[in-house]
A and B are shown apart, each in its own frame.
Chain A
């Protein structure tokens, strides 16, 4: 069974500082990996995803994430935080093929606060 762990339920940064949100996964096969963002009172929207190929993935709003198979990690980063980045972020994993095809397993979420 696959699982996702997001280290830190709350992360607080200053505007302009580096954003680092951590995600580790467990999966029996190399998974597909996703980061979603949820703004207050809204649904989730995709930030970026890794399926195959280049392990450094760039997403919307200046975010990127690197798939590290040896560390089973997919951490999300942004060089310079903006006030508009304040939201909850979810890491998710899906296993290719098999009966679980297409089903996402989500981490617990990390709330990002950005201070002026």
Chain B
């Protein structure tokens, strides 16, 4: 199993450009998440999808949109990139087992630089 995969690994954008970050998981997990990581701020939740067909805003959703394409894939779109969106983006997934709190499994990250 590849686990959680993300593409691209690294991207440079100019202000105002758009792009989509791709995420896929092969663990048959129900829930998927997008985080951004900034120095000294830990990881902050952008959007999440509790199950296929549903998406909800997290802590920092402004400037982003998401699509839960199917159970495996969860994409994050920046419609008009801004320098404040320079960050490392992580996708994660979890089984959402109601018997106990599930572990989230993380992808390797996408480093985004907006000039």
Hey, which bits of chain A sit against chain B, CB under 8 A?
4, 9, 32, 34, 36, 41-46, 49, 51-52, 90, 94, 96, 101-109
**Once A and B bind, how many residue pairs between them come within 8 Å at the CB atom?**
58
Q: A9-B40, A32-B101 are in contact. Are A43 and B106 (CB under 8 A)?
A: yes
Judge whether B106 and A45 touch: CB under 8 Å. yes
Q: When the two chains form the complex, which single residue of A43, A104, A108, A109 contacts B4, counting CB atoms closer than 8 Å? A: A43
Judge whether B103 and A108 touch: CB under 8 Å. no
- 8 tightest Cβ-Cβ pairs between the two chains A and B: A43-B106, A106-B42, A32-B101, A44-B106, A106-B43, A108-B42, A51-B101, A51-B100
Instruction: Report the bound CA distance from A106 to B92 in whole Å.
Output: 14
Q: Mark B67-102, 1 if CB is under 8 A from A, else 0.
A: 000000000000000000000001010101000111
B97: min CB distance to chain A, Å: 10
Instruction: Report the bound CA distance from A94 to B44 in whole Å.
Output: 13
**A contact residues around B50 at 8 Å (CB):** 101-102
Give the number of residues in B that approach A within 8 Å (Cβ atoms): 26
- Smallest CB-CB separation from A95: which chain B residue? B101
Judge whether A102 and B42 touch: CB under 8 Å. no
Hey, which bits of chain B sit against chain A, CB under 8 A?
4, 31, 33, 40-45, 48, 50, 58, 90, 92, 94, 96, 100-109
Instruction: Report the bound CA distance from A52 to B101 in whole Å.
Output: 9
A sample of 8 more A-B contacts (CB under 8 A), given A43-B108, A102-B50, A105-B45, is A43-B109, A44-B106, A51-B101, A102-B48, A102-B102, A103-B58, A109-B40, A109-B42
Q: A43-B90, A96-B101 are in contact. Are A104 and B45 (CB under 8 A)?
A: yes
A100: min CB distance to chain B, Å: 10
**B contact residues around A9 at 8 Å (CB):** 40
Judge whether A103 and B42 touch: CB under 8 Å. no
Judge whether A102 and B96 touch: CB under 8 Å. yes
- Smallest CB-CB separation from B3: which chain A residue? A43
**A contact residues around B43 at 8 Å (CB):** 44, 90, 104, 106
Q: A102-B48, A107-B42, A108-B42 are in contact. Are A43 and B101 (CB under 8 A)?
A: no
